[in-house]
Amino acid sequence: MTVGDDTTLVAADILYRFNIPIIGITDGDLDRVVEEGFKPVGSMIIELESGWDDIIGEKIFLELFNGKPTMEIENIENFKSKIIQIISNTTSKYNLKHN
């Protein structure tokens, strides 16, 4: 999972080469370049209002990752659902850019 437009764009490009899906939390401040970049099948990019990517990223870090830098995910779809739940509990203004 990545937070930020630049980070998501770079990570998606690298992981695309290894066919590893990415979950990116963005706020569209990269002039929508993320929409144009390479994304592996199964990836999900969530675009929030400006400045909200860091806020949501912190909530996900604390609630799902329990403040740890890494975690193992057994079911990616279940993990995506948990992320969407955290986001929708915080704000209703978001768009799924790729799923």
pLDDT digit string (tens) for 3-28? 998 899 889 989 999 999 999 999 98
* pLDDT at residue 97, as a whole number: 79
For range 55-84, the mean pLDDT: 95
pLDDT digit string (tens) for 48-62? 999 999 999 999 999
* pLDDT at residue 75, as a whole number: 93
For range 34-53, the mean pLDDT: 85
Band (pLDDT 50/70/90 cuts) for residue 29 is confident
Number of domains making up the chain: 1
Domain extent at residue 10: 2-98
Q: Which long-range contacts (CB under 8 A, 24 or more apart) does 75-83 make?
A: 76/21, 76/42, 79/23, 80/23, 80/44, 83/1, 83/23, 83/25, 83/44, 83/46
